[in-house]
Amino acid sequence: MTKNNNTTTCYKSSPLGLIPIDWEVRKFKDIILEGRLGGNYENAEANEGIPVMKMGNIDRGVIKLDKIQYLPEDCIYNEEDVLKEGDLLFNTRNTLDLVGKVAIWKNELPLAVYNSNLMRMKFDEAFVVSNYFMNYAFNSNYALNQLKSIATGTTSVAAIYGRDLDTIKFILPSHQEQIAISKAISHWESCVDIINKLIFQKEQRKNWLMQQLLTGKKRLKGFEREKLVMKNIHSFAKEISIKNKEDKDLVVLSCTKYDGLVPSLEYFGRKIYSDDLTTYKVVPKFHFAYATNHIEEGSIGYQSKMDLALISPMYTVFKTDENIDDVYLYRVLKSQLYIHEYKKRMEGSIDRRGGLRWDEFSKIKVPVPSIKEQNAISNFFLFVDKEIELLQNKLNYLKEQKKGLMQQLLTGKKRLKIK
């Protein structure tokens, strides 16, 4: 017997641990009315049309719309596959770590359908007050642990089918408490949504400012009248090619399109590079490196952390002179405008397999203002990044608070007052 929120709560044993005596545990098969898979739709390369929600659009508890695929124009969809507000979607196929994700549709788009890797679930109202409560229940620690235990398949392809779900157990309070719990958790969700939207707006503003400031279309205050010159990269940088002939034990880097240069072992979680590192190139501190054959994906990075590191011989390494702020140049070279430039040059190459070698890469022209303005632009974006980082930290904190609250409320360790 435990005193909780000025009331005395008695607990009983259950297959999922101690729960309030007036709560019950039910198997999925006892509370589900219908589990329906979506349509088997082909993908279209179009950027408009009828959106199709797929496994990549399902996150833990929420819908993601960062990558949307659409139906081909001539595709006829089933009206039964059209999503309605409050539909609860279960991801039946994914990687072993991600299969079993559940999210609720909140009319994020005016019209969308869902595909055959997702199952829409309906529950018996005698046990479940709403899909919103079940969305939280599916994403609770006790449910996630059970889902993980029944997922079958390989690391890259795994599945959880309807019959596998039958034995999953859920803790169910009264309808009144389900409503109260849903409202309490949704309050934290609203806070998370506000910060998410604020981060999105800041990111959009940053992208717009990068388009303006890094091309010279817009100048920072105090630099409006200064001259801006377009220069070939070879006018201020030179290729560096130092082989690791002495077989030094240095960190091997890989280059990613989003994060730039990263330690290969940490990023991939396994060794993907050669045992023989004598042919690898040395990347000294404050040097650039790009994937010669894949730079069109934005795979260019700046080595600013280690005195020396290694990179595959398939990379190109270069160093700038004292007239360039490397942080400024890195932002320019990672921008969408220049990624498009890399694509153009590679597509126009006679030998596509040769990639974008230094002779061709170094002919690219970039805007080079005075070193003082370069420094100012770098510092400006450092401030913008810090602002976004602080918001991201706040978001992570709220998410952790929400997870802790869910664990307490959905197991009855914390009870809410019911009016």
pLDDT, tens digit, 9 for 90 and up, residues 178-218: 999 999 999 999 999 999 999 999 999 999 999 999 999 99
**CA 71/CA 50 separation, integer angstroms:** 5
What percent of the chain shows pLDDT beyond 70?
95
Question: Do 48 and 107 fall into the same domain?
Answer: yes
> In this predicted structure, what is the pLDDT of residue 208?
95
Helices (H) and strands (E) in the chain, counts: 10, 26
What one-letter code names the amino acid at 228? Answer: L
Confidence (pLDDT) at 3: 47
- Which residues have CB under 8 Å from 412's CB, separation 6+? 9, 11, 18, 19, 20, 23, 171, 173
Which tops the pLDDT comparison, 67 or 308? 308
417 pLDDT more than 90:
no
Whichever domain contains 312, its CATH number is: 3.90.220.20
Q: Does residue 154 register a pLDDT over 80?
A: no
Contact by Cβ (8 Å): 260, 309: no
pLDDT at position 67: 85
Kindly state whether residue 19 falls inside one of the protein's structural domains.
no
pLDDT for the residue numbered 157: 83
Reduce the DSSP state of residue 201 to 3 states and report it: helix
Domain containing 317: what range? 229-368
Which of 138-142, 163-167, 239-243, 375-379 shows the lowest mean pLDDT across its residues?
Answer: 163-167
pLDDT band for 349, please (50, 70, 90 cuts). low
pLDDT per position as a tens digit, 40-93: 988 766 678 899 999 999 999 989 998 899 998 778 899 999 999 999 999 999
323 and 268 share one domain = yes
CA distance 126 to 296: 56
- The upper half-sphere exposure of residue 286, i.e. CA atoms within 13 Å in the direction of its Cβ, equals 7
Residues 407 and 140: their CA atoms lie apart, in Å, by: 6
278 and 314, same structural domain?
yes
DSSP 8-state class, residue 356? S
Q: How confident is the model at residue 354 (pLDDT cuts 50, 70, 90)?
A: low
Clarify whether residues 236 and 356 are in a common domain. yes
User: Of 347, 368, 389, which residue sits at a domain end?
Assistant: 368
Q: How many CA atoms lie within 13 A of 53 on its CB side?
A: 34
Same-domain status, 321 and 418: no
pLDDT score recorded for residue 7: 53
Nearest to 89 by CA among 165, 37, 25: 37
Confidence band, pLDDT 50/70/90 cuts, at residue 221: very high
Residue 309 sits in the same domain as residue 394: no
308 and 181 in a single domain? The answer is no
**How many angstroms separate the Cα of 377 from the Cα of each of 172, 222, 269, 404?**
56, 12, 35, 41
